[in-house]
Structure 1
Amino acid sequence: MNNFLWALKFLTIIPIDRGDRIKPKSMGSVVSWFPTVGLCIGIFLSTACLPFYLFFPPRIADALIIVVYIAITGAFHLDGFADTCDGIWGGWNKEKRLEIMKDSRIGSFGAIGLICLLGLKYISLASIAETCAIHNSPFDVCTRYVSCSIPTVLMNTCAALMVMPVVGRWVQVCAAGLSSYARSESGTGSFILNTTTVRHIIYTSFLPLFLLWFFYNLNGVMIFALIIAFTLIWIWYMKKKIGGMTGDTLGATHEVIELVFLLSVCLPWLK
């Protein structure tokens, strides 16, 4: 339980253990709880979207959901994504890229990257309303007779919000287990990268795979395969650019794959 609470404290702004009394057994054990923390966040977002859709038009509700998601995570991964954009595309060699990524100030590439990322996330989330994403899935079968009064758009949105944080945090485990730390000195990312193994990837894969199947049926399995492919390409690209992963690039991996998931749900073959 200490490992779970520390993971929840690390990935959100929930005021847990203000006295810093909880000590994890190992960082590898904490990482194993990342997808579970994502599920807790997903349940919270799915619950929060209900009053938004009740009082606001769908487009405004989608924007408010994204704002709530950013707030509850403290923009933790968005900061890493912005730093990664600045470093990867602002530097001309490995050393310069890593140096730029340590700078707390945001640059042009980081600002442009955030605008594109959040804009695409918003459009994708709004477009899910037009996609019968959960049609004929186990979730659809379970709720067909008890949710006749709930609009399909809301059901699709809740399903996406439930899965998205889980997938995003699982790929961090995947990237950490398949990569090495890119910097010579230790940092926040080094504790995760140096203790995460393929065993952790296997253990944590069951939750996102089950949720994707439960909400999207066999299409969910195809989405999972697509996410794995994009994650492997991203890991290869980071290794090529900076020789591995850092804490910032793990956060960037999270944001990029969450977007890949949302875009995948909007693909025509899910209709």
Structure 2
Amino acid sequence: MQQLRLFFIALQFFTRLPIPRWVGFEPDWLHHASRYFPLVGLVVGAITGAVYAAAAMVLPLPVAVLLSTAAGIYATGAFHEDGFADACDGLGGGLTRERVLEIMKDSRIGAYGAIGIILMLATKVAALASLPMLAALGALLAAHPLSRLMACSLIWRMEYARAEGKAKPLAQEMRSGEFAIAALCAALPAGAVAALGWLPPAALGAGLGGMLLATLWFARKFQQRLGGYTGDCLGAVQQLSEAVFYLCVLACLWN
């Protein structure tokens, strides 16, 4: 029951979806809820996949992908997209650590953030629209949990860069056992997609490899510029690794 509570706490933190009243809330639960971040991704992937499948029955695939993307953004409240935009603004416009953190905390979006999020969304939509229907469904169901596992890896291996912040209670630390739970939550949907034949193992492997490289690149940049990560960094890693997964799957199937 406590594990179910932790999942619902993570779902409440990362999405706009309602949770049962009996769950309750204790501040300490946030410290351990990040283990179910990939499981929240499975919920978001299921929502986007369902919208895509329903829309694809009556509309062209590119339109179905757009509606699916809009459903995902609505379900999460653009939480991760906002983090990616803030990270683009901070890393693009700040010269010192203090200035980067100041820019990332600003709620206003700048040129780097606007350009970055437009290109990011366009890349994801174009890649998914270029995939066959079942492959796109498989990519959605696999990419959302796996990309959130990539964000968890920052919590697991890096230090939080701010003295305080909205994500700090959730992102202060992650033990190896908790990361193993997160990895299992991400691996099961990917394995199911492969077992169903929606994506070949080579495409899944290419997507996962691309995600790891993108995460390592972003983590190195965060360490150099900030000495750690923030909540915006987690959103940025999730968005970038998700887009890279779609691109690698598309490249594998295209060739």
Q: With structure 2 as the length reference, what TM-score do the two structures score?
A: 0.89
Aligned equivalents of 1:103, 1:18: Cα separation in 2: 33
Any residues of structure 2 matched to 1:1-271 within 5 Å, and which?
1-16=4-19, 21-23=24-26, 26-129=29-132, 154-183=133-162, 185-214=163-192, 215=194, 216-219=199-202, 220-268=204-252
Aligned equivalents of 1:201, 1:260: Cα separation in 2: 22
Instruction: Tell me the CA shift for residue 19 of structure 1.
Output: 9.8
Instruction: Tell me the CA shift for residue 38 of structure 1.
Output: 1.1
Instruction: Tell me the CA shift for residue 217 of structure 1.
Output: 4.3
* Residues 10-63 of structure 1: CA deviation (Å, up to 9, x unaligned): 111112257993336533421111111111221222222222112211111111
Aligned equivalents of 2:89, 2:208: Cα separation in 1: 29
Aligned length in residues: 246
Identity %: 31
Instruction: Tell me the CA shift for residue 160 of structure 1.
Output: 1.1
Q: For 2:201, give the aligned amino acid.
A: L
Aligned equivalents of 2:76, 2:157: Cα separation in 1: 25
Given that 2:9 and 2:33 are in contact with CA atoms closer than 8 Å, whether structure 1 keeps it comes out as: yes
Q: What residue number does 1:139 align with? A: none
Aligned equivalents of 2:8, 2:51: Cα separation in 1: 22
Q: For 1:125, give the aligned amino acid.
A: L
Report which of the two has the higher share of helix: 2
* Residues 200-253 of structure 1: CA deviation (Å, up to 9, x unaligned): 223322333343344234312343233223212211111111111001111111
* Residues 156-211 of structure 1: CA deviation (Å, up to 9, x unaligned): 1211111121112111211111110112x211222233221333223322333343
Instruction: Tell me the CA shift for residue 68 of structure 1.
Output: 0.9
Aligned equivalents of 1:159, 1:186: Cα separation in 2: 38
* Residues 65-92 of structure 1: CA deviation (Å, up to 9, x unaligned): 1111111110011111111111111011
Unaligned 5+ runs, structure 2: none
Closer, same or farther in 2 for the Cα pair 1:180/1:83, shift >3 Å? same
Aligned equivalents of 1:70, 1:59: Cα separation in 2: 17
Aligned equivalents of 1:270, 1:24: Cα separation in 2: 47
Instruction: Tell me how large the CA RMSD over aligned residues is.
Output: 2.1
